[in-house]
A and B are shown apart, each in its own frame.
Chain A
Amino acid sequence: MAKYYDIDDILADEELVPAVFLEAVNGVGLLQSNETNRIEPRSKVELPFWLASELHLRQAASVNVPPCYNKKTREEIGADGAHVDLRSRCSYFYQLGCKIVQLIGDKTIGSLLLVAFQIRYKEVLIKAHTSASILGPKFLSLLTKEETKLYDAAKSSTAAFKSWRMGGPRFQKASVLGRKRKPIGE
């Protein structure tokens, strides 16, 4: 339960995965345009991972591999992994991937994740240490949440070092009060 309060873990569970119901389910409003509130077996749906995985474990539904780990993505990562837009496919590409592997045991997804990260973390590193903010937005929009975190970590530790070297005030206003300074002479 170590991750119970972990927001990233919770949000990764919110990603939608394709699933097929194996059992009929009564009295739930999961599907739109469903007046009877009943789901028939073999209905194909997209469910958030937190629900799909539990139903999968109880044989009430069967989870399929989400499209972001399909052959096309594999090929694109093999060709030019650093510039594939993973965020639009799944913003928790790695975390959700790990969860899927553990649920359905398809370890080829695991190796896809490893290859992708191996290629892409270098790009994150180079960009974080070199670019000021010029090529920022476009590159950043390709990164998954996990990669963005690494980028921010590298960026802010470099920035902290630079500002120390410049010197200046050591004491700062409490960050919760906001960074805006009151205009002098107000």
Chain B
Amino acid sequence: MSGQSDPRGSAFSAAELEFLAEDEMIEIVPNLRIKPLSLICGDFGPFQPQIPTQVPIWLAVALKKRGKCTIRPPDWMSVEKLTQVLEAERDSASSFEALPFHYVEISRLLFDHARDDVPEVYMVRSLIEDIKDVRFHKIGTGLEKLSSRTYAMKLNLSAMEVNVIRPFVTGSLETFYELTAPEIIQESQREEYRRPQTADRGPRRELRR
């Protein structure tokens, strides 16, 4: 599935990431009665008015579009939480706050389809924009330290952030790898450049939550 939109590349398209994000679960409050749905990806419901239940985002959006539910934004999508995250992001030059792996996609899906369900939507939206900008800036400065010494990076990066930098990072690392091959440079210099070292940026995160 990766790269269908880009036959030569290996990156996901943004639309493909959004599709993956739509599988994340979210809480909805139905306003009508529906029998449980038995779908390939699992069983959801039963849906009863005013009784909250968990469904994948794609289902939540489909119900919302037809006016059959309200969506409860996830905990992290509150002005209070996001303000904390933004401050922490600004305070640390190198570490990244733990946000959901698909925070960029999920927030866009909710802004597009359920803006009336997000309290203080304008504030939330601009906070997420700011967080995203701060993080992208940090990623940029982090990448400047990239070198042939970089074996692995442990970052709290999200799916979309990783996807945007992937082509550049893989291309650069490949060139570094070629240029530090034993037949290209002196062994002494090679040692110096290849000393095992990982850019350690805080605790390892789980890829999916």
A149 within 8 A of B: yes
User: In the complex, which residues of chain B have a beta carbon less than 8 angstroms from the beta carbon of A153?
Assistant: 167-168, 171
**Residues of A134-169 contacting chain B, CB below 8 A:** 146, 149-150, 153-154, 156-158, 160-161, 163-165, 167
Interface residues of A, dominant DSSP: helix
Q: Considering residues A101, A113, A114, which has the most beta carbons from chain B within 10 angstroms of its beta carbon?
A: A114
- Complex CA distance for A167 and B167, rounded to whole angstroms: 22
Q: Are A98 and B179 in contact (CB under 8 A)?
A: yes
Q: Are A164 and B140 in contact (CB under 8 A)?
A: no
Contact with A along B113-140 (1 / 0, CB 8 A): 0000000000000000000000010001
User: Could you say which of A102, A149, A158, A164 contacts B184, with CB atoms under 8 Å apart?
Assistant: A102
User: In the complex, which residues of chain A have a beta carbon less than 8 angstroms from the beta carbon of B143?
Assistant: 125
A69 within 8 A of B: no
Q: Are B167 and A114 in contact (CB under 8 A)?
A: no
Interface size class of A (residues with CB under 8 A): 20 to 34
Chain A, residue nearest B172 (CB): A121
A107 within 8 A of B: yes
Contact with B along A89-128 (1 / 0, CB 8 A): 0000010001001100001001101100110011001101
A173 within 8 A of B: no
Q: Are A117 and B179 in contact (CB under 8 A)?
A: yes
Known contacts A117-B176, A157-B164; A125/B140 CB under 8 A = yes
Q: Are B144 and A125 in contact (CB under 8 A)?
A: yes
Known contacts A107-B185, A125-B140; A161/B14 CB under 8 A = yes
User: Could you say which of B11, B15, B144 contacts A170, with CB atoms under 8 Å apart?
Assistant: B15
- Complex CA distance for A156 and B136, rounded to whole angstroms: 16
Q: Are B168 and A114 in contact (CB under 8 A)?
A: no
* A37–chain B nearest beta-carbon distance, Å: 37
User: In the complex, which residues of chain B have a beta carbon less than 8 angstroms from the beta carbon of A163?
Assistant: 14
Chain B, residue nearest A146 (CB): B175
A38 within 8 A of B: no
Q: Are B166 and A101 in contact (CB under 8 A)?
A: no
User: In the complex, which residues of chain B have a beta carbon less than 8 angstroms from the beta carbon of A121?
Assistant: 146, 172, 175
- Complex CA distance for A163 and B18, rounded to whole angstroms: 13
Known contacts A98-B179, A157-B11, A164-B18; A113/B167 CB under 8 A = no
User: Could you say which of B160, B171, B180, B193 contacts A161, with CB atoms under 8 Å apart?
Assistant: B160
Interface residues of B, dominant DSSP: helix
User: In the complex, which residues of chain A have a beta carbon less than 8 angstroms from the beta carbon of B112?
Assistant: 167
B83 within 8 A of A: no
- Complex CA distance for A101 and B171, rounded to whole angstroms: 21
User: In the complex, which residues of chain B have a beta carbon less than 8 angstroms from the beta carbon of A154?
Assistant: 165, 167-168
Q: Are B184 and A110 in contact (CB under 8 A)?
A: yes
Q: Are B172 and A157 in contact (CB under 8 A)?
A: no
- Complex CA distance for A105 and B144, rounded to whole angstroms: 30
- Complex CA distance for A125 and B184, rounded to whole angstroms: 25
User: In the complex, which residues of chain A have a beta carbon less than 8 angstroms from the beta carbon of B14?
Assistant: 160-161, 163-165
User: In the complex, which residues of chain A have a beta carbon less than 8 angstroms from the beta carbon of B13?
Assistant: 160, 164
User: In the complex, which residues of chain B have a beta carbon less than 8 angstroms from the beta carbon of A101?
Assistant: 183-184
User: In the complex, which residues of chain B have a beta carbon less than 8 angstroms from the beta carbon of A44?
Assistant: none
* B166–chain A nearest beta-carbon distance, Å: 7
Residues of B within 8 A of A (CB): 11, 13-15, 18, 108, 112, 136, 140, 143-144, 146-148, 160, 163-168, 171-172, 175-176, 178-181, 183-186, 189, 193
Q: List 8 A-B contacts (CB under 8 A).
A: A111-B189, A114-B180, A114-B189, A121-B146, A121-B172, A150-B171, A157-B166, A164-B13
Residues of A within 8 A of B (CB): 94, 98, 101-102, 107, 110-111, 113-114, 117-118, 121-122, 125-126, 128-129, 146, 149-150, 153-154, 156-158, 160-161, 163-165, 167, 170
